Structure 1
Amino acid sequence: MERFTQGFYGYAVAMLVCLAGVGVFLLVTPQSRTEHIPKVDFSFDVANMRRDAPYQVWSPDQVPAGWIPTSSRMTKEKGAVTWRLGFATAKRSHAMLAQSDERPAAEFANRLANTGEVTGSVQIGGVTWEQRVRKDKNQRSLVRLLPDATVVVTGTAQWDELSALAGSIKQQTRVTS
């Protein structure tokens, strides 16, 4: 018996016993193989934006099929009201709708798109959007510079998904107190 409690053999036996215990633990522990993406309700931020933003707010009328809203954040800083709404797309890429009355508007758009270079334009729902690409970050952006606000749709999603998000947004009625 002393032979198994000392030296290399003792070490090997102790290691095998530990590994067997870990193996049994892994076999009996339930494991989920389903994807879990946290989902947020952004309706509260839409209501707050409609009340607090000094500009017309744009929000998805209907979230594209298979998309999951993962983050929503409204901020009031330096006199600007900004809202960022993030999504996991149906293809599990990232897309974000951001809008603000921050001035100068071009700086907000450049910061969100990570570039100031306009690479083209596209018509979505009868509206012209600037296209911007930041290849080293795998980021594509659609930008609308409105008189009172800037709307940016951006992310790692492909153009078709970003266009679907841009096409889903509708102007919300402003709530006055």
Structure 2
Amino acid sequence: MRRFTEGFYGYAVALFVCLGAAGLFLLVTPQSSGEHIPKLNYSITVANFSRTVPYQVWAPSKDPAGWVPNSNKIATGEGGAQVLHLGYATAKREHAVIIQSDEKPAGGFANRMANSDKVVGTEQINGRAWERRFREDKNQRTLVLPLPDVTVVVTGTADWPELTEIVTVLQQRPKPTD
């Protein structure tokens, strides 16, 4: 009599045992059916950025309903200027990012962040005139607020109403006192 592990039948049984174990593992392992967008707190990044720049930083007073802050960083722009990025997944699950810097020339900074130098209109939001820019091939909409001491850019694949929604909650934060 042949041993159980020899021949075709032994291999077939071993294969079915392995497949059964894998199937059992998949049955008892919890499966995630919902989306998972990592939520990152940007308050420390904003506070650190505020300490390094000579102007009041613009940041959301609150996150719009359904929006998830999912990225934030401080980068170095042209001429050594500090650049703050606050990224979001919007309620419609598009992308939007708030970017600001005192980089000079301000127009060059805004053009790079918007991927466009073409202003297609303006929009009054909270009493300020924001430039509208649109780059069709990237499906990128941008609102730009050029101020004397800082340029604020809100850009992404979000539609105009969503970009306006995040702009309405932007506020200048007071400079921290150390």
Q: Tell me which interval the TM-score lies in, with the shorter structure as reference length.
A: 0.7 to 0.9
Using the TM superposition, give the Cα deviation of residue 76 of structure 1 relative to its aligned residue in structure 2, in angstroms: 4.2
Using the TM superposition, give the Cα deviation of residue 129 of structure 1 relative to its aligned residue in structure 2, in angstroms: 0.8
RMSD: 2.2
Using the TM superposition, give the Cα deviation of residue 133 of structure 1 relative to its aligned residue in structure 2, in angstroms: 1.1
Percent of paired sites with the same residue: 55
Using the TM superposition, give the Cα deviation of residue 34 of structure 1 relative to its aligned residue in structure 2, in angstroms: 2.9
Secondary structure at 1:119's aligned position in 2? strand
Cα distance in 1 between the residues matched to 2:159 and 2:97: 12
Q: How does 1:53-68 map to 2 (within 5 A)?
A: 53-68=53-68
One-letter code aligned to 1:89: T
Q: How does 1:12-91 map to 2 (within 5 A)?
A: 15-76=15-76, 78-91=79-92
Cα distance in 2 between the residues matched to 1:37 and 1:153: 20
**CA shift in 2, pair 1:163/1:6, >3 Å:** same
Cα distance in 1 between the residues matched to 2:17 and 2:134: 56
Cα distance in 1 between the residues matched to 2:17 and 2:43: 54
Structure 1: stretches of 5+ with no match in the other structure? none
Q: How does 1:1-177 map to 2 (within 5 A)?
A: 6=7, 15-76=15-76, 78-175=79-176
* TM-score, normalised by the number of residues in structure 2: 0.86
One-letter code aligned to 2:124: Q
Deviation string for 1:10-41 (max 9, x for gaps)? Answer: 76665544433322221111112232211111
Cα distance in 2 between the residues matched to 1:5 and 1:69: 59
* TM-score, normalised by the number of residues in structure 1: 0.87
**CA shift in 2, pair 1:28/1:100, >3 Å:** same
One-letter code aligned to 2:105: P
Deviation string for 1:100-140 (max 9, x for gaps)? Answer: 01111112111111111111111111211111111111211
Equivalent residue pairs, number:
176
Cα distance in 2 between the residues matched to 1:73 and 1:101: 16
Cα distance in 2 between the residues matched to 1:151 and 1:40: 21
